[in-house]
């Protein structure tokens, strides 16, 4: 998989379309990876391997002791089966489709120096015999539900596909599909070629501003992966404004008595708030009705995301670059004891009469499948396989999953997913 990214990348297009200067503002910040990104990259490699194997290409399965798990096998199977289904359907529609895996596409005619890599680009015919371009994108994550409707990342890939193959194939319709198995998100958006090209023309001025580092800074949900977020003044001002709006009562006098009155003065909790002298306190959550709390949830995600980004940036500056942080210091966190010489440990323990040193564990379901093959596995062990229900999670109403009937269900703690894409 290519690891080079354009300045105006398709994957970050939601960010630069809403906040054009952000791509230049974040240039000086390192693009650090995470374990989630590494897992996602490996999952994409497995997807690529499975599709290329179906296409009878000579490929070697990617290996990873850390990420090659049963869950990765299952979610990549969902993607593989969908892709194969699209290809086979096009064949039934009366054509031999053009199938391109991990295809680099160029959309620099829309966004300066713009290019990206589409997971799947398929050109063929739809059910009515019309020329069809189908872009399929795999998402391994579970934290953010990715909307496909007018998705800018897939739209740019499609524009790149049209630019490369639109003059060879009579493409009339464009389909874009998101395959996000962990959130049961398999959704498709369709538009005409003319509609997509019109959208491309409409964003050219914004792309030009973004490339030049011009335009207005505009904070929003698209700031999530912006590397400049920790030091972005627009983000800070918005987060603090949201705090004041949702959690502080600046009109009803809900402030600390100690902050309001000197030892010799009587406290007046109904006096107007003075931003220069008064210290605000938070509203009591127990007094906020559920209807108001539900309206605050999207705000909580935005604020917490900004706070986490600020702390991570400042910590990195202090730990990795030696920047002093007033009022803070660097200390060692907790650690676990480890053996420095495993062989010596075993030899010493055995020599002293301790022999029960190892645990025996059943191999995983995925390892059984690899050993037996899926068909044989299903024949022999399929009756003993079950998929338990997932942990209950609170999500926004527009999430496509069916709601759970909670009548008679025991109380439990709930996780809250951010309302972002």
Per DSSP, the three-state class of 145 is coil
Of 264, 298, 321, the residue that ends a domain is 321
Q: Are residues 45 and 193 in the same domain?
A: yes
SS3 106: strand
pLDDT of 236 reads: 85
Across-strand partners of 123? Answer: 98, 133
SS3 label, residue 321: helix
Same domain, yes or no: 211 and 237: no
If asked whether residues 160 and 76 sit together in one domain, one would say yes
pLDDT along the chain (421 residues), means of 10: 75 95 89 85 96 95 88 93 95 94 96 95 94 96 90 97 94 96 93 97 97 92 88 85 62 40 43 54 56 74 81 85 87 86 92 88 84 87 87 78 75 51 43
Task: Identify whether residues 85 and 204 lie together within a single domain.
Answer: yes
Q: Is residue 8 part of a domain?
A: no
> What pLDDT is attached to residue 12?
94
Q: DSSP characters for 44-72?
A: HHHHHHHHHHHTT--------TTT--HHH
Tokens 């499975």 sit on residue: 50
pTM: 0.69
Residue in 164, 165, 168, 174 with CA at minimum distance from that of residue 195: 174
Measured distance CA(58)–CA(52) in Å, rounded: 8
Among the candidates 156, 181, 216, a domain finishes at: 216
Contacts of 22 (CB under 8 A, 6+ apart): 15, 16, 210, 217, 223, 226, 228, 232
Query: Is residue 342 situated within a structural domain?
Result: no
Same domain, 107 and 68: yes
DSSP-based three-state secondary structure for 289: coil
- 149 and 60 within one domain: yes
Provide the domain limits for residue 126: 13-216
| Other CB atoms within 10 A of residue 55 CB | 12
CA–CA separation, 125 and 169 (whole Å)? 10
Same domain, 107 and 21: yes
Answer yes or no: is 223 within a domain. no
Measured between alpha carbons, how far is 363 from 367 in angstroms, rounded to an integer? Answer: 6
- Domain-located, residue 194: yes
Q: How far apart are CA 24 and CA 187, in angstroms?
A: 33
**Domain match, 37 and 184 both:** yes
Residues 154 and 82 in one domain: yes
405, part of any domain = no
125 in Cβ contact with 139 (< 8 Å): no
DSSP conformation class of 285: G
Which of 297, 321, 345 is the endpoint of a domain?
321
Q: Is residue 21 part of a domain?
A: yes
Residues 160 and 247 in one domain: no
Largest CA distance in the chain: 90
Q: Residue 134 in contact with residue 158, Cβ under 8 Å?
A: no
Backbone angles phi, psi at 118, to 5 degrees: -85, 135
Contact between residue 136 and residue 177 where contact means Cβ atoms under 8 Å apart? yes
Long-range contacts of 290-299 (CB under 8 A, 24+ apart): 296/246, 296/247, 297/416, 297/419, 298/396, 298/418, 298/419, 299/242, 299/245, 299/246
Check the CA dihedral 162-167-170-172 and report its sign: positive
């Amino acid at each position: 998989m290519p690891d080079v990214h354009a300045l105006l990348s398709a994957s970050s297009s939601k960010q630069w379309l809403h906040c054009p200067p952000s791509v230049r503002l974040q240039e000086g910040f390192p693009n650090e990876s995470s374990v989630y990104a590494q897992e996602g990259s490996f999952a994409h490699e497995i997807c690529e391997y499975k599709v290329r194997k179906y296409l009878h290409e000579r490929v070697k399965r990617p290996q990873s002791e850390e990420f090659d798990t049963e869950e990765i096998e299952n979610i990549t199977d969902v993607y593989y089966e969908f892709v194969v289904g699209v290809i086979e359907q096009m064949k039934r529609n009366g054509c031999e489709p053009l199938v391109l895996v991990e295809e680099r596409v160029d959309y620099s005619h829309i966004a300066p120096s713009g290019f990206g890599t589409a997971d799947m680009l398929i050109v063929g015919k739809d059910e009515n015999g019309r020329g069809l371009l189908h872009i399929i994108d795999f998402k391994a994550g579970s934290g953010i539900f990715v909307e496909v409707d007018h998705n800018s990342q897939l739209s740019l890939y499609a524009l790149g596909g049209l630019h490369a193959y639109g003059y060879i194939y009579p493409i009339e319709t464009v389909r874009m599909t998101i395959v996000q198995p962990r959130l049961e998100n398999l959704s498709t958006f369709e538009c005409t070629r003319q509609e997509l090209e019109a959208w491309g023309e409409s964003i050219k001025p914004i792309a030009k501003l973004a490339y030049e580092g011009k335009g207005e800074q505009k904070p929003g949900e698209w700031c999530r992966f912006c590397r400049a977020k920790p030091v972005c003044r627009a983000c800070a001002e918005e987060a603090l404004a949201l705090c004041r709006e949702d959690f502080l009562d600046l009109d009803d006098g809900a402030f600390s008595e100690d902050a309001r009155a000197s030892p010799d003065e009587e406290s007046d909790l109904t006096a107007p708030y003075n931003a220069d002298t008064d210290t605000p306190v938070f509203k009591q959550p127990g007094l906020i009705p559920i209807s108001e709390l539900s309206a605050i949830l999207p705000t909580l995600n935005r604020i917490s995301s900004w706070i986490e980004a600020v702390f991570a940036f400042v910590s990195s500056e202090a730990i990795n670059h030696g920047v002093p942080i007033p009022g803070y210091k660097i200390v060692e966190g907790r650690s676990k004891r480890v053996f420095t010489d495993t062989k010596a440990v075993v030899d010493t323990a055995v020599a002293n009469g301790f022999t029960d040193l190892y645990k025996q564990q059943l191999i995983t379901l995925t390892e059984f499948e690899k050993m037996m093959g899926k068909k044989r596995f299903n024949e022999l062990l399929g009756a003993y396989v079950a998929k338990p229900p997932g942990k209950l999670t609170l999500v926004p109403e527009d999430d496509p999953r069916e709601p759970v009937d909670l009548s008679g269900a025991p109380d439990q703690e709930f996780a809250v997913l951010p309302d972002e894409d």
